[in-house]
Structure 1
């Protein structure tokens, strides 16, 4: 099919949450170097501002790249083997094989995009290998990396990021802010002390402070936050004490490193002993933490669980940690800058790290068990969103299990129970963890049996048929050894599922009915529901009238479990469409399912729904909109990573729909519309499926995503990088009102960060 480039401005970039100061020369140099080379690495010490410089530059350049600018955060990634999977997920390419690097190379071959790899130093060698492969395969690809170390790739351009400019001589008060370091300090000081300003009385002290910190942005920001409680003189005195300590301990340390070490170390010294201990212990989390996790992992040894909240509040007030907004489905989430996290980790020491990582691992084992117990309930949406937020910590816990000799069996107890979380958005990653853990923990235990079933489930959707049947045979043997009725029911379910995909529908129904009876006998609601959905699908494809009953029963069983209810609505919709010809009702059911799945990022479910919507459209009105829906279906399946659309029953309906629309439009018109939508981002494809006003002629446009006009206005301000306080000032509303609007926006769009809102707004502007 013809390849149609997506609209310029696609991609994902985090929003800049604070004002950007200075860096004109570096911005110009970075743009110049990136225009003449395909790989640019920004290097420098931690805290010098490499990420902020990269974000500002790429935000300005995003419309230069027709296929977008894509930001990939690597700070929390420890397993080099997950690098290609992480890039694929960031690019919305989840439909990858066991060789994701090769799939990435194929996908990027004709793309003109900019890939931003942030914090490469943790896995420099793996980054270098993958970057070399991708640049060789994709002649129009450009890569911008930030790292404390160069990658060492042929053709790499290197731009050292220097500290901010510092006055070298006495300057007038009005001229001091012409220097970047002084301007940054003044900006951040005003954020905590609005009356602050540089005048003749304090000018010399501000300049001395910036000099002592060598213009390192993170060091200056850490010092500025103390303007809330200390005077400039007090800040300088304490910094001087810290520098004397550093000079004694590390006399050969580079000045720039001394500056950041002094600022972080000084902030550490100003913390209470309990806060220092908490800072160090919190460094074990990857990608952030919530209060419950902090209480479970970091209490003990002199810190009571009830004291954790006050200690977090203290670290928050000192800007050691940062809080992100909570939504209807989440609790408050806290993060640390990587440089600050590493400082805390160094305070733990090797023995302390081992203890804390074990406690961290055990907490996420418990969380996985709680997920398995409670995820089929009215709290299902909360669980999906929570586990997505905890993704980095789940990775860290699994990596720890797989790194430590004799601990791999514990990985089975984390990765196995959350099979439906992996299925909903991280299919290949979950499959990889399970395969690795099963290989390293061959003992014939009950945990292995359960993990084998989870591996079968993911292998089925990943298209790994041979592996599926190999694991299923061992699982069957273990089910009999342990006399486990739940495993027997699950084996019947997965066997029937595989038979559906193979096109043997009659045999599938027999196995599924056996599984349904077994699940009902032991009272397993999730198994009963899943099997009813599969029976609805199998009987639907076979033209069996029982499809209506199975889908209605599934809806009754699903109750208020949001993701499951979405699948039940899918079952009802396909029956409404095929057997009853109620296209409009079917479309409404499918769109309701998509809205249920969106906050959960349940891309496989959304793939089913968009695919079925394309069937409805092709039969009722085989026009360009139907052609686009067929293309959008392909885009969503690509994003989900599941191979359902390639299996016989589903592909038959796809082929029938394609042929109907092609005949109605003519091949050329069909190919153009289909290819345009097949190149959509996930968000664009979903907007089309939900009937965004831009796609419906004659309907007056209104904000997308279910937002009110005021919410969309605030979303646009988020995209500009404004804080809640700045939004309130711009719109002349109370700050709490602005915060409430932001929380509603995050909830309606199913996002967990302001950065995702910023990327979504950009997508809306470009469509």
Structure 2
């Protein structure tokens, strides 16, 4: 204490002898104690710890993690989007503490210091500020915790007060709930996200292991005691929870509709969820009584540039990267905008394979899209998306093949390409419509094959456009018809592209591509001599190019065409060079077509083990574009038939690939089709009737992704008299090791849970294992 220090009760000066003391006498100390006690008794209700009337569901891991963080750090900010349950988790956390806890509700406050003053039960001090009074009260406790709830609208003031309190009160800990952090030194941010939702297809027992479903059931039962989750409604409940992004407030509001709507009805109405989810408890504050109000509170706090960004990004309806966001928000670099919105819990960041994308939770997106419609942003965003797509595509149209970086970027934004296609067609902007059609032809998704629909290509080609655009579009149309076996149409489009390129000049990459496609068409329409000449011309055009990928793809096409016409020995060196070039590029996902041709050459030479290895590698490296892999399934099946090790697996793979070909009208070249038919005949001769039909049925019911998983589960294992399990039993065992239930395994393989159980039992019996867990351990050790 300094010489002029005063007693905090009466204000009388303290002498030097009283240095280090706060009171001039015991009487003043007792009066201060009585004053503090009275202040606590008369403090507003907001200062009391909330006492929830509903049950706390889930969040056990988050609660434990928050407890650890709070024990180690003095300032923790619990942040998350509207309706994530921040306040509810904070209540549960502080309810487990035995120390002094103060709770300050700031949602309706305008003065942070006064709100904290009332919450801690401080009393006025003569000639001292309100902050000093708060500090004096806090310092009376050994391990105090101050909770500041709902701070997002007062962040600057809260940050200022909290930093001073923590500096002056070394024993104080602070927990803040907000939609964005305070950004103070030493602050630990605990981001609260969605509740975990079960995967699609979960049965009742599995679904009830997830917090989102448990919360839905709990809140539904609270309004309808007869409600239960059973086999008739579990799929709808899971779909509701997933559609609502696992956000607790939205799930609670949806569950309260169970009194008049079934889960299926709720699901059907979620397209208008902002109107549906309005039945919050009357005792709740206004922000938590409707989903619209909860999201609107966050939106209204944003400055205009961030509101505009939220609206425009909502129009996209798909995840987006920084480049797309910059174009849509009409700024050179949207990094600061996205960072701010992410910190305010209005964007979710996803990181996959080193690539960062952003997305809005669906409920937030729908709210912001409404605001976009009101502000007239929808057309503006569509035009910016068209600009972005064209800026990515146009620099690549003179290449033999677009760079893998560009293709990957388009693949990741395929939803935006669809928007751009629709916008340019609607506006009659046919030149840029052609570029959006090109973008579509360059992309693929896990659900569909690479390439544009026939109608889109033909419609685009019927409109006027610059000659470079028409050239690339006609060669893409030629490639489109080539894979469908339409050789005469392929030839016509390729000839048109080659004529444009020869007339314009200056685009050797596009001309080489047109000649390559035309050469393959000539080879299959009875003029192989001309085909070899055209291939040679294309190779010469790329000889001086540094584009190793283009040269590798051209040589692979040349080798594949030679192979189909009986020239395996001539094809082999071309394909070896192609493999070397593509491997040098360090692009494993681009190896797929070249590995396939190399495998086909191995088949022609009857080097079946080599063929199996090559097709397996092709399946592995091509996983980024699984729709391109039906050829590899067929090649692997042909290799297995040649080895003679697993005819049932081979027939299943052949059948699965055939389903894909039929669905997308992909016709095999005559050479390849003859090999496939011969392999099927061999399988039918070797496999007994019952097993034959089972193998075909398995192939028919598997998706392409499931067939690829089945093909790569393990290297072929022959069933023999030594007790080795069959390939199907090994595959089932591997899925058991992944933790899948019999029902999930059955769905993946297209068989019944009863059949799965039989495979599990047979595998255990053959291997001498006593439990399912032992089988899982065995599979983990014996599969790659």
Deviation, 1:289, is: 1.1
Uncovered stretches (5+) of structure 2, i.e. residues with no partner: 1-198, 256-262, 745-784
Corresponding residue to 2:558 among 521, 527, 535: 535
For residues 26-52 of structure 1, give each alpha carbon's deviation from its aligned partner in whole angstroms, at most 9, with x where no partner exists. Answer: 9969989989xx9xx99xx99999999
Deviation, 1:371, is: 6.2
Q: Does 1:295 align with 2:489?
A: no
Distance in structure 1 (CA, Å) of the matches to 2:401 and 2:210: 36
Q: 1:117 to 1:436 in 2, by over 3 A?
A: farther
Tell me the residue number matched to 1:209.
Answer: 285
Asked if 2 retains the 8 angstrom alpha-carbon contact of 1:288 and 1:336, the reply is no
Tell me the residue number matched to 2:384.
Answer: 359
For residues 215-242 of structure 1, give each alpha carbon's deviation from its aligned partner in whole angstroms, at most 9, with x where no partner exists. Answer: x4xx2xxxxxxxxxxxxxxxxxxxxxxx
Distance in structure 2 (CA, Å) of the matches to 1:704 and 1:674: 18
Tell me the residue number matched to 2:633.
Answer: 610
Larger radius of gyration: 2
Tell me the residue number matched to 1:321.
Answer: 347
Tell me the residue number matched to 1:331.
Answer: 356
Q: Does 1:19 align with 2:212?
A: yes
Distance in structure 2 (CA, Å) of the matches to 1:165 and 1:613: 57
Deviation, 1:686, is: 0.5
Asked if 2 retains the 8 angstrom alpha-carbon contact of 1:632 and 1:685, the reply is yes
Give the match's secondary structure for 1:416: helix
Higher RCO, 1 or 2 (CA under 8 Å, sep at least 6)?
Answer: 1
Distance in structure 1 (CA, Å) of the matches to 2:431 and 2:413: 21
Corresponding residue to 1:481 among 503, 507, 513: 503
Deviation, 1:657, is: 0.9
For residues 703-754 of structure 1, give each alpha carbon's deviation from its aligned partner in whole angstroms, at most 9, with x where no partner exists. Answer: 999xx999957x99xx9xxxxxxxxxxxxxxxxxxxxxxxxxxxxxxxxxxx
Q: 1:349 to 1:468 in 2, by over 3 A?
A: farther
Tell me the residue number matched to 1:682.
Answer: 704
Distance in structure 2 (CA, Å) of the matches to 1:678 and 1:412: 37
Question: Number of matched residues?
Answer: 513
Distance in structure 2 (CA, Å) of the matches to 1:494 and 1:165: 62
Which deviates more, 501-510 or 614-623?
501-510
Mapping for residues 92-111 of structure 1, pairs under 5 Å? none
Give the match's secondary structure for 2:349: strand
Tell me the residue number matched to 1:445.
Answer: 467
Deviation, 1:532, is: 1.3
Distance in structure 2 (CA, Å) of the matches to 1:657 and 1:400: 48
Corresponding residue to 2:417 among 394, 404, 416: 394
For residues 663-694 of structure 1, give each alpha carbon's deviation from its aligned partner in whole angstroms, at most 9, with x where no partner exists. Answer: 22255543431232232112221122214379
Tell me the residue number matched to 2:650.
Answer: 626
Give the match's secondary structure for 2:352: coil
Q: Does 1:412 align with 2:462?
A: no
Q: Does 1:454 align with 2:485?
A: no
Corresponding residue to 2:619 among 579, 584, 594: 594
For residues 296-354 of structure 1, give each alpha carbon's deviation from its aligned partner in whole angstroms, at most 9, with x where no partner exists. Answer: 33143xxx62xx32322332233322222x12242233334265345346347566443
Distance in structure 1 (CA, Å) of the matches to 2:687 and 2:737: 39
Distance in structure 2 (CA, Å) of the matches to 1:293 and 1:607: 32
Q: Does 1:278 align with 2:309?
A: yes
Distance in structure 1 (CA, Å) of the matches to 2:358 and 2:324: 10
Tell me the residue number matched to 1:664.
Answer: 686
Deviation, 1:596, is: 1.0
Asked if 2 retains the 8 angstrom alpha-carbon contact of 1:532 and 1:550, the reply is yes
Distance in structure 2 (CA, Å) of the matches to 1:457 and 1:416: 12
Asked if 1 retains the 8 angstrom alpha-carbon contact of 2:315 and 2:372, the reply is no
For residues 106-156 of structure 1, give each alpha carbon's deviation from its aligned partner in whole angstroms, at most 9, with x where no partner exists. Answer: xxxxxxxxxx9999xxxxxxxxxxxxxxxxxxxxxxxx855648xxxxxxx
Q: 1:367 to 1:699 in 2, by over 3 A?
A: farther
Distance in structure 2 (CA, Å) of the matches to 1:273 and 1:463: 55
Which deviates more, 285-294 or 346-355?
346-355
State the superposition RMSD in angstroms.
5.0
Deviation, 1:546, is: 1.0
Give the match's secondary structure for 1:633: helix
For residues 77-108 of structure 1, give each alpha carbon's deviation from its aligned partner in whole angstroms, at most 9, with x where no partner exists. Answer: xxxxxxxxxxxxxxxxxxxxxxxxxxxxxxxx
Which deviates more, 570-579 or 513-522?
513-522
TM-score (norm 1): 0.57
Tell me the residue number matched to 1:496.
Answer: 519
Uncovered stretches (5+) of structure 1, i.e. residues with no partner: 1-8, 58-115, 120-143, 150-158, 169-206, 220-259, 720-767
Corresponding residue to 2:296 among 265, 268, 273: 265
Q: Does 1:368 align with 2:393?
A: yes
Tell me the residue number matched to 2:603.
Answer: 577
Mapping for residues 140-159 of structure 1, pairs under 5 Å? 145=268, 148=271
Give the match's secondary structure for 2:356: coil
Tell me the residue number matched to 1:553.
Answer: 577
TM-score (norm 2): 0.55
Distance in structure 2 (CA, Å) of the matches to 1:675 and 1:562: 33
